[in-house]
Chains A and B, each alone.
Chain A
Amino acid sequence: MSTWDFETRLREALQPVDPPADLEPRLEMTLGSLVEMAADELDAWELRAMKDPRNWPRTVLGPAAAVVVGSGAAAGLVILRTRGRRHKRRAQARNAWVLAERTFRDAAREAMRVFDDIGR
């Protein structure tokens, strides 16, 4: 028998075997109940999470806190950058009114730069 013939015989000997007819529905049922169990678990977890006061800050206060902290950081950055140019402004200002005006202008410009950085 040539190798080619032998491989043909081997293919005939090792034919794919059909699973019993009841295996597919049985497996689908098992998998279906697993999916249901997972869904129930998710529901139960959500309810538990909502009832637990320890999760309140995370779910309700979390985003608000993030906004406050983020705004604070941005404002801090604007102040810091504006303060960095104060000696130059003082030297250039003829009086207090002009100094206040230049300070306000610098702060506005720095604020725009910070917003641009955040937007990127």
Chain B
Amino acid sequence: MAAASDSAREDKARLDAAFTDLYRAHLRDVYSYSYYRVGNHHDAEDLTEQTFLQAYRHFERAQKESQGRPLRPWLIRIAHNLAANYYRDRSRRPQTPIDDAGPLPELHTTEAIVEDREDLNRILECVQQLPDDRREALIMRFALGMDNREIARALGRTDGATKVLIHRAIKQLEELVQAEAGTEAT
């Protein structure tokens, strides 16, 4: 019995170490995804915390079933499901506009900085107007840098369907941004 419990402890310690690695490697990804989903830092922190707690509970099984494939899509899928519950529970959509979405690219004049900021804010606002699946696919692709296969796994779709989804999402977003810019210009 002592030998069995020692071995169980060793397995557990190995699992915990692997989870710590996973958590350190993907904390930023999960936080970024959560942030763009819920639109504010406070709820993004909650969502990130819940995602990792949930992931910890099912980590052993996920590790076995992944057969060596990266676990990032699995983590993002947990965050995705929790975010869906978050909206269902509170009956709300992401808050717009998303506040301080990140550092601005280097520009030379104040006017250019303001214009650029407006441009980026407009894009972010339009991202929030997209249907849920298209918005999520874009967040995964552009904020997290996930490839089609990873996004497909996170969304539970085929690679082909994911490629089409992203293509349509970009096209729709482009139209929305153009329409918005046209409205502001008149």
Contact = CB atoms under 8 A, between A and B. Distances in A.
Whether both chains belong to one complex is answered with: yes
Interface of A: 1, 3, 6-7, 9-20, 23-24, 26-28, 30-31, 34-35, 38-39, 42, 46, 49-50, 59
A39 B120 contact: no
A87 B83 CA distance: 79
Given A20-B41, A42-B9, A9 B123 contact: yes
Interface in B95-129: 101-103, 105, 119-120, 123-124, 127
B102 A27 contact: no
Interface string B26-63: 01110110011000010011001100110010000000
B157 interface: no
Residues of A contacting B: mostly: helix
Contacts of B170: 3, 6-7, 10
Contact of A3 (B24, B52, B124, B174): B174
Contact of B143 (A14, A24, A38, A42): A14
Given A3-B174, A27-B49, A15 B16 contact: no
A15 B103 contact: yes
B173 interface: yes
Contacts of A17: 28, 31-32, 35-36, 44, 101-102, 143
Interface in B150-186: 170, 173-174, 177
A30 B120 CA distance: 36
Interface residues of B, number: 44
B29 A38 contact: no
Nearest to B49: A27
Given A20-B45, A23-B45, A31-B56, A10 B142 contact: yes
For the complex of A and B, list the 9 residue pairs with the smallest distance between their C-beta atoms, beginning with the closest.
A15-B102, A19-B31, A14-B143, A14-B142, A13-B123, A13-B120, A16-B32, A17-B35, A17-B32
B26 to A, nearest CB: 11
Contacts of A30: 49, 53
B123 to A, nearest CB: 4
24 contacts: A1-B174, A6-B170, A6-B173, A9-B119, A10-B170, A11-B142, A13-B101, A13-B127, A13-B142, A14-B36, A14-B124, A14-B143, A16-B29, A16-B143, A17-B44, A17-B143, A23-B27, A27-B27, A30-B53, A31-B56, A34-B53, A42-B5, A50-B1, A59-B1
Contacts of B138: 10, 14
A8 B124 CA distance: 13
Interface in B42-88: 44-45, 48-49, 52-53, 56
